[in-house]
Structure 1
Amino acid sequence: MKRPHRVHGIRTWPWLGGWAGVHAGLLLVLVGFHRDVRMSGTLCSWTEGGASRVRFLETLTAWGNPWPVTLLAAGSACFALTRRDYTAAAVLVAVPYAAAVSCKLIKEWAGRQRPALACVSTHADGFGFPSGHAVGVTTGFLLAALYVGGRLPRLLSTALLATAVPAAEAVAWSRVLLGAHFSVDVLAGQLLGAGWLAVALLLLSRRPPPGPRGRGGPGTPRSAVEAVP
């Protein structure tokens, strides 16, 4: 019998469902009322306030590049390895990589061009839908925070998750502020990332418990055999 996935009182599935629902709702509003270009232009115009804003956003958006996300995934996997949680280590690396590959395939299929607004302040190659940065930080930041946070003391766990969520949002939406993506691109990327995050949580909840033997015998205490990511 498995207990619900929790991070010190936070039920992960309802939390993830609520987070995805908010983003899906905003996506539907922007598409349904044709407000994507208008909202993107409004956000992008914020960078016209000066070069310092652009430099700040470029520093922020760099955290969504492949290398930082890869290093974060590798770091969380190493944390899992120190606990002899080998399946979790594989999931923490494989899922962000699979998310990045799926994002690239969807980009090529959709073929949506990037914004051509007057306020664009950064150049990005390739197609724009969905945002690769949004996918990367959603799977990378949030997956690492949920796994590692579930194994830290309550105060550290809360601080980690409270940092990871707004950080992922800030990095993802910096792409719109810089003019590299439309708002819909970012929202679609976040939802794609949330889908892969759900896959990761499902795999983590079904893995055998960490340790050399994997399964406990009849006399093993229940707490030792339950897989609680």
Structure 2
Amino acid sequence: MGRLAWTAFPFIMLAAMLLAVLAGSLGLAWRRRSRPEADAPPQVQRLVPGLAIGFLLIVGLASLFTLFARHLGDGRPMGRMDDALSQAIGTHTPGWARQAFSHFTHVGDPLPVTVFVLLFALFLRLRGHPGFAWGWLLANAGNAVLNYSLKQVFERVRPVHDTLLVNAPGFSFPSGHSSAATVLWGMLAYLCLRIGPRALRLPMLALAAAMAVAIPASRVFLQAHFLTDVVAGLCSGAAWLAISILSAESARHRRRARLYVPAG
């Protein structure tokens, strides 16, 4: 796997982009048959309960997965697999590719992500979408808190390697870059589908899928994370993204039902 990782990466990213575009095309075709009033924006007071319940459920389930985490420690089978794979990827990835990833991975760092989240929330607010702005903020902020909480539960140390191309402090499991990329780019795709220009919808889905693959992959190629860290980050991010979108859609549905009650 370590020998083939770099070769397989472009094909995995391309497959993710194609699947995203296909799913988006099917979703847009279904949406065209829905009612016009489906575009009512969510209300922030209806977003918070669903997000709070989802957050508590995921943290509670994470505690049940502690037994699984024990298999990731030193000397454990999954831990040995992670160590061997990390070393093999470091050995077989070309130096120029690792250098490129060392620059690209900073797209997912906390500071640029925070700045972008705040600026895009302001953009949504100025464009007349306060409900979506709050949904965007709560989804990304909630994921940051969730990831920090999960790291404190598992307390896994990062890979040890000779070549340090990125500074990666803190615990390793699950990957914060992976979960943040999943939520941020997933929410961008969702918002583009809901309120974005029609011409940008499918390209945004393809871009979101590419970034949700490339940013987590960069952490493995740079040996800042084990593969299982990244998989766990993608899973926790996808779960929180699903909760965020379902909460927004539920809020929209309840508001639509209230706004469009038949007269009399």
Q: For the superposition of Structure 1 and Structure 2, which TM-score range results when normalised by the shorter chain?
A: 0.7 to 0.9
- The equivalent of 1:133 in structure 2 is 177
Query: d(CA) in 2 for partners of 1:118 and 1:67?
Result: 26
1:95 aligned partner, one-letter code: A
Using the TM superposition, name which of 173-182 and 35-44 deviates more: 35-44
The one of 13, 31, 37 equivalent to 2:83 is 37
SS in 1 for 2:170: coil
SS in 2 for 1:94: helix
The one of 19, 24, 27 equivalent to 1:10 is 27
Q: TM-score, normalised by structure 2?
A: 0.64
Query: d(CA) in 1 for partners of 2:213 and 2:77?
Result: 23
1:113 is the counterpart of 2:157: yes
- The equivalent of 2:6 in structure 1 is none
Aligned-residue RMSD, C-alpha: 3.1
SS in 2 for 1:158: helix
The superposition leaves residues 192-225 of structure 1 with CA deviations (integer Å, 9 ceiling, x where unpaired) of: 111110111111111247x9xx723525xxxxxx
| 4+ runs deviating over 6 angstroms | 30-33
- Unmatched 5+ residue regions in structure 2? 1-22, 29-70
1:187 aligned partner, one-letter code: V
Counterpart contact for 1:115–1:182, Cα < 8 Å: yes
SS in 1 for 2:161: coil
- The equivalent of 1:54 in structure 2 is 98
Please report how far the alpha carbon of residue 109 of structure 1 lies from its aligned counterpart in structure 2 after TM superposition: 1.9
Please report how far the alpha carbon of residue 148 of structure 1 lies from its aligned counterpart in structure 2 after TM superposition: 1.8
2:168 aligned partner, one-letter code: A
Q: After the TM superposition, which residues 32-111 of structure 1 pair with which residues of structure 2 at under 5 Å, given as runs?
A: 34=78, 35-47=81-93, 49-50=94-95, 52-82=96-126, 84-111=128-155
Counterpart contact for 2:102–2:165, Cα < 8 Å: no
SS in 1 for 2:102: helix
Q: TM-score, normalised by structure 1?
A: 0.72
The one of 201, 206, 209 equivalent to 1:165 is 209
2:116 aligned partner, one-letter code: L
Aligned length: 194
1:156 is the counterpart of 2:173: no
- Unmatched 5+ residue regions in structure 1? 1-5, 12-29, 220-229
Counterpart contact for 1:69–1:141, Cα < 8 Å: no
